[in-house]
Amino acid sequence: MNLNTIWNSLVEGFYPLGNSEMEKTANELGVGDGWITWLWASWLFASEPFSTASFMRIRPYGSARVIEARFAEAARQGILSVHSEGEYQRAEKGKQVVDQIVQSAEEVIAHLQPIPPAELQKILNYTKRLVEATLDTPEPPSRFAILRYHKNIHIEQDMPLLRLLLHHVGSLDQYRGAAHIASWEAYNIKGYEWSAFTSIWRKEADPLDALHEEMGSSVFTREEILEALRDLAKRGWIEEEMGVYKSTTEGGRIRQEAEDMTDRLFFVPWLCLNESELEGLSSLASQLRDGLKKGV
């Protein structure tokens, strides 16, 4: 049973729907391009104080300078408040704005009926068990993100089944992110350098301009990408020829090892489901993905 196939089926249908609607609402509210950064901070810290450094321990794939600037701009807009020097806190306006952005995605998803309710309930039961097993799995990887996300996202048991399922998938996604961080943090490399390396390894973007366009949402600049590429080349992980970058044999080996380690860590809690249950989840998740892509 290919667990990655099941996981990909669970996320492929949901995220394009929700993300596009959240972006649309953020644009309508006029909160600026950096909204996703403070939205994640709100999900992870709720009303607790946080700093750029504490945020980046959980979401390290950006530039500290750019993230700090986004938090400062959110404070200027009244979305965040300054708690102390170098620390921010979600303001009441920030809670209202985050709720509006999230609700817009929920409303798009809630009315859909991609598969019969009885089948959707079966997926929900499976994913609930996966989340519970993940919350009980000893570290590493860190459970901080999944615990905070699971706690801070407002959930009511009478919510539509799809909304509850999205919460389960989101919680699991936080844990996968932590598993991936655990797979590369020993290399003493910056998060945005790892992001650039991953893009090259996956051949998503080779020339520098295309790489910058591809990775722009990960909040780092063209100059910082150049710095990342120089460091990666010094490590012997990438090489450049006529402005095009590709991973070396050694770089490819290292990146694949990290991918394999991510899978090993992430899927440990999935042992709570037996083979028959995994087969059932796989079939249902594929049906769900196909139904969501049709927007039914």
Domain region containing 89: 3-183+261-288
- Is the separation of the CB atoms in 52 and 41 below 8 Å? no
Q: CB of 225 within 8 A of CB of 212?
A: yes
Q: Is residue 222, in this structure, part of any structural domain at all?
A: no
What are the C-alpha distances in Å from 265 to residues 146, 188, 289? 14, 20, 24
Of all residues in the chain, the percent with pLDDT exceeding 70 is 90
CA angle 73, 78, 83 (to 5 degrees): 85
User: Token pair for residue 174?
Assistant: 């936080």
DSSP-assigned letter for residue 111: T
Q: What is the pLDDT of residue 278?
A: 97
Q: What is the mean pLDDT of the chain?
A: 88
Question: 116 lies in a domain?
Answer: yes
Residue labelled with tokens 């996300």? 149
The count of other CB atoms within 10 Å of the CB of residue 147 is 16
Residue 228 lies inside a defined structural domain of this protein: no
**Portion of the chain with pLDDT greater than 90, in percent:** 54
Helix axes 161-184, 117-135, angle to 10 degrees: 30
Residue 100 to residue 197: CA distance in whole angstroms = 35
Is 114 a domain residue?
yes
User: What was the pLDDT predicted at 277?
Assistant: 97
105 compared with 2, residue with greater pLDDT: 2
> How far is Cα 109 from Cα 86, in angstroms, rounded to an integer?
37
Instruction: Give the C-alpha separation, 155 to 64, whole Å.
Output: 31
Is 69 within the bounds of a domain? Answer: yes
Whether residue 87 contacts residue 51, with contact meaning beta carbons closer than 8 Å, is answered with yes
The alpha carbon of 156 is separated from its chain's Cα centroid by a whole number of angstroms, namely 23
Residue 80 CA: distances (Å) to CA of 25, 38, 121, 249: 18, 8, 38, 45
Assigned domain for 171 exists: yes
pLDDT tens-digit series, residues 119-164: 999 999 999 999 999 999 988 888 888 888 877 766 666 778 888 8
Does the pLDDT of residue 296 top 60, yes or no?
A: no
206 domain-assigned = no
Q: Kindly state the helix (H) or strand (E) to which residue 95 belongs, with its residue range.
A: helix 92-110
Domain assignment present for residue 134? The answer is: yes
**Overall domain count for the chain:** 1
Output the pLDDT for position 109: 77
User: Does residue 29 surpass a pLDDT of 60?
Assistant: yes
